[in-house]
Amino acid sequence: MVKIGIVGVGTVGSAVIENLEKNKELIKARAGKEIKVVKGVVRDTNKPNITIPLTTDYKEVTENPEIDIVVELMGGVDKAYEVVSDALKHKKAVVTANKALLAYHRFELQKLAATPFEYEASVAGGIPVIKALRDGLSANHIMEIKGIINGTCNYILSEMKKGRDYSEVLKEAQEKGYAEADPTFDVGGYDAAHKLLILASIAYNIDAKPEDILIEGIENINLTDIEFAKEFGYEIKLLGIAKKRENKIELRVHPTLIKNSEMISKVEGVMNAVSVIGDVVGETMYYGPGAGGDATASAVISDIIEIARGNKNPMLGYKIPLENEKLSLIDASEIISKYYLRIAVKDELGVLEKISHILAKNNISIESFLQKPRDGYVKLLFSTHKAVEKDIKNAIKEIQNLNFVLKDVNYIRIEE
């Protein structure tokens, strides 16, 4: 028998307990052993629907000689690091779904982990993308990863297309158990960045932190952007992107306009999708539910079964250091992309001429243009050919200072 202690019995923790019970016989046959949850750790033990013994002291799990696997499902960074390190010090195998923890501490934890350490649920919920990238694609140099890896944002963007209000849909995503405890992690792009960093460590063995990469969320997307996207044949998605350019890696998370003929543009609601291009296999794509108790529990339980079977995989996929392929991060200002710009201006003579002059001066070539008259002002919508990020940022700063510009200039990168 394999005995489990679960630290954090909330949306995911309770779904793990329920599904271990529901599929008990099947799981026992696949793992080769019975799996039993013996204790749960929470802040408030008054939980009438939870059937396992509860405590508020995590050491009753991490230092319990009876327990084989500690499953960390509490979230957060510092306390979770304390719990997981203590579990590893006490020679427990660890399973976690905590991408924030891994975004900051995955390399330290890899060093500490003499026992198995699995984290399938930390990226894209129920999609087994960690095992696909770390194990299934291990023969490949990874050229590119492009993913919808935050279910909450994809759910919000999908519902906004139906004309629904942003805050109302966010509240719904929280009620359905998709959002993080602090949903600004979702809508601000940080949760997707945490996941992208985990994928990038497996793909490129690169130890970057969230502060090192470009992260933008969906808070500024409005109905005008959605209308523009529709008119020009695009969908707006929050994407995590990793691209290899010679010996450099580009890592970024931001709302992105994608042509509506692309497969990834068709991913709606809480579903996630990750496209991975390998030099041997070509493009592969993974699709499924990215958030929610049951979807995440499916991935957590698969890790528990993997460990119960006696397997120990190299945590980030490398048995020995990769000496000859040292890759570094490309500075965010050097990113090359096409852009969409939204500019609200007074309806005056010479406005377009001044804006096009600033764009041209900053090496930005206009690809298409649309003018939308509104009550007392005009919205100008541009798409550009490929430009360098720092040129776009300089042009936006200059345009923002023109006295006929009424609101903040907004932009979305276009991925083609």
Report the catalytic residues. 195
Bridge-partner residues for 342, per DSSP? 381, 410
Q: Backbone dihedral region of 363: left (phi > 0), alpha (psi from -120 to 50 degrees) or beta?
A: left
* Contact of residue 317 among ligand HSE, ligand NAP, none (CB under 5-8 Å per partner type): none
Distance CA(20)–CA(177), nearest Å, equals 19
How many angstroms from the chain centroid is the CA of residue 304?
23
Distance CA(73)–CA(61), nearest Å, equals 13
- Copy the structure tokens of residue 288: 């499924």
Cβ closest to ligand HSE, residue 181 vs residue 281: 181
Q: Is 181 in the site for ligand NAP (CB under 6 A)?
A: yes
User: Least distance from C-beta 151 to ligand HSE, angstroms?
Assistant: 4
Bridge-partner residues for 287, per DSSP? 273
Q: Is 151 in the site for ligand HSE (CB under 6 A)?
A: yes
User: Least distance from C-beta 257 to ligand NAP, angstroms?
Assistant: 27
* Contact of residue 111 among ligand NAP, ligand HSE, none (CB under 5-8 Å per partner type): none
Q: Is 72 in the site for ligand HSE (CB under 6 A)?
A: no
3-state DSSP call for residue 228?
helix
Binds ligand NAP by CB under 6 A, chosen from 104, 178, 234, 411: 178
User: Least distance from C-beta 67 to ligand NAP, angstroms?
Assistant: 16
3-state DSSP call for residue 72?
strand
Amino acid identity at 25: E
Q: Is 298 in the site for ligand NAP (CB under 6 A)?
A: no
Cβ closest to ligand HSE, residue 99 vs residue 338: 99
- Copy the structure tokens of residue 88: 């590893």
In the window 166-225, what residues touch ligand HSE (CB under 6 A)? Answer: 178-180, 186, 191
* Contact of residue 128 among ligand NAP, ligand HSE, none (CB under 5-8 Å per partner type): none
- Copy the structure tokens of residue 176: 């359905």
Binding mask of the shown chain, residues 286 to 305, with x at each position contacting ligand HSE by CB under 6 A: ----xx--------------
* Contact of residue 186 among ligand NAP, ligand HSE, none (CB under 5-8 Å per partner type): ligand HSE
Per DSSP, the residues of 243-280 read EEETTEEEEEEEEEEEETTSGGGG--TTEEEEEEEETT
In the window 111-150, what residues touch ligand NAP (CB under 6 A)? Answer: 121, 125
3-state DSSP call for residue 126?
coil
* Contact of residue 57 among ligand NAP, ligand HSE, none (CB under 5-8 Å per partner type): none
C-alpha distances (whole Å) from 57 to each of 39, 45, 64, 95 are 11, 11, 11, 19
Cβ closest to ligand HSE, residue 5 vs residue 188: 188
Q: Backbone dihedral region of 181: left (phi > 0), alpha (psi from -120 to 50 degrees) or beta?
A: alpha
Q: Is 125 in the site for ligand HSE (CB under 6 A)?
A: yes
- What residue number has its CB nearest to ligand NAP? 10
C-alpha distances (whole Å) from 115 to each of 94, 255, 292 are 8, 38, 28
In the window 41-80, what residues touch ligand NAP (CB under 6 A)? Answer: 41-44, 73-75, 79
- Copy the structure tokens of residue 289: 């539910």
User: Least distance from C-beta 317 to ligand NAP, angstroms?
Assistant: 20
Site for ligand NAP, rule CB under 6 A: 8-13, 41-44, 73-75, 79, 97-99, 121, 125, 177-178, 180-181, 291-292, 296
